Structure 1
């Protein structure tokens, strides 16, 4: 149990004074030949007391510094909770979340779009917008239903930029030392984001591993690294291999409700198909 710094200070000072006060009576109980002059060697005037008090002062200072460090850490955690919560619940960020989730939902329903999306996370070897996905993209957003050609590609690009913002938000959450404590107070709907983000993360990882060019030119952290950190903070079972990821995705009830593209089933190991 943690002892408050003020109580610790009183205890230390009291102990010093008690030892100092008991020194002379104890010395009187010793044989006369033990000291030629009991008073002088035991007390050495007030110098002994002041030395002991100075030592006690050092100990008390350490207690107060430790207490201040704990207070500062608690305030930092509380500030993190407030700042992240304010960002996540703001009206402006709601637009970010809506756009990002719409892009990810398209990736759930269309594996070819998901592969396009994963490729756009790298600065090299990017795929072009899959024309076969145009109908689905328009169906998921009423603002795009009458768009075609470059207008549709541009509107989709705007949504993908919002996904970048969302990925940055989760990356900042994962990198905070206090993320575990922050999550206990506000979960940021991670259970909703986790399955759709793992689709993107795994496809991105596979592209990275398969391309020396991407490995040479692209040094940004992979989405999978962020998700692994958040999975640990939230207490999810780790997805250690590609097979684990694709089993999780194909078995997830919410993704099935979203009409997961059957093409993802082909990514399962043969024993699971």
Structure 2
């Protein structure tokens, strides 16, 4: 049980006055020669009192500062919850979520697109949109069905930019000191995003590990690092190896409902799930 600053101050002051008031009677019980001049001058008694009060003031100040720190932290958490909630539920961000999830759904249905998508998270060695994926990209978005290949690539790029925004959102959530408290109030649908994001995170990690050029020029945090942090915050079992990641992906009921590409079953299982 924590005492508030005002109650702590009252207790400290009462204790100081009690000790000071008891000092003289106690001194009278001692032999005369115990002290050279026990409380004889009134000045000495007042000096002791004010010294004790000054010391008590330091203690009281510390109590008040601790109270203020707790209040400031609580307000920061509440502000964090409100800001993240406002962002996640805003109409503009709803479009970001919809387009980002459409991109991820394409990766679920097409392994080649998933590898392409992961490569676009790096500034070097970016793959081109696979021609074999264009039919699927068109079929999942009615507004893309009549686009030529050049326009389709541009439209797909715009949707991938929405995914970048969504990844940045989850990265900010993962890096907040109050993230554990925040998600207790609003879960941000992480259970929906987790399996589809792990597909991209694992491809990104594999490309990072396989390419010295990527490791030289790319310093942005890997998506797998963000997901591991969020997994811990949300209480998910950690995915420590590549085998665990792909087993989770290939057995996830929702990904099966989304018609997960059977080619995911043939992926290698020997790589770690993090550097």
Q: Say whether the fold is shared (TM-score over 0.5).
A: yes
Structure 2 contact 12–56 (Cα < 8 Å) conserved: yes
**Corresponding position of 2:201:** 201
- Structure 1, 126-135 or 197-206: larger mean CA deviation: 126-135
Q: Whole-Å Cα distance in 2 between the matches of residues 191 and 40 of structure 1?
A: 76
Alignment of 1:229-268 (within 5 A): 229-267=229-267
The Cα of 1:42 is off from its aligned counterpart by 9.3
State the alpha-carbon separation in 2 of the partners of residues 35 and 117 from structure 1. 85
Work out the CA distance in 2 between the residues paired with 1:247 and 1:94.
31
1:60 correspondence with 2:94: no
- For 2:39, the equivalent position in structure 1 comes to 39
> Following the alignment from structure 2 to structure 1, what is the Cα–Cα distance between the partners of residues 202 and 269?
15
Aligned to 2:154: 154
Say if 1:114 and 1:36 are closer, same or farther in 2 by CA, change over 3 A: closer
In structure 1, what is the equivalent of residue 191 of structure 2?
Answer: 191
Gaps of 5+ in 2: 271-275
- Give the Cα–Cα distance (whole angstroms) in 2 for the partners of residues 41 and 246 of structure 1: 84
Q: In 2, Cα distance between the equivalents of 1:39 and 1:65?
A: 35
Per-residue displacement from partner, 1:47-94 (whole Å, max 9, x unpaired)?
110000000000000000010000000000000000000000000000
8 Å contact from structure 2 (residues 242, 269) kept in 1: no
Is the Cα contact below 8 Å between 1:27 and 1:42 reproduced in 2?
no
Residue 210 of structure 1: aligned partner: 210
Q: Aligned pair 1:77/2:80, yes or no?
A: no
Q: Please give the alpha-carbon distance, in whole angstroms, between the structure 1 residues aligned to 2:105 and 2:255.
A: 9
With 185-194 and 120-129 compared, the bigger mean Cα shift is at 120-129
Q: Is the CA contact (8 Å cut-off) linking 1:24 and 1:42 kept in structure 2? A: no
The alignment status of 1:128 with 2:128, answered yes or no, reads yes
Supply the distance in 1 between the matched residues of 2:237 and 2:49 (Cα, whole angstroms).
59
Q: What's the TM-score once normalised by structure 2's chain length?
A: 0.95
Partner of 1:139: 139
1:20-35 paired onto structure 2 within 5 Å = 20-35=20-35
Aligned to 1:221: 221
User: Matched residue of 1:196: which SS?
Assistant: helix
96-105 or 145-154, which deviates more: 145-154
Structure 1 residues without counterparts, runs of 5 or longer: none
**Contact 2:5–2:67 (8 Å) recurs in 1:** yes
Shift of 1:45: 3.3
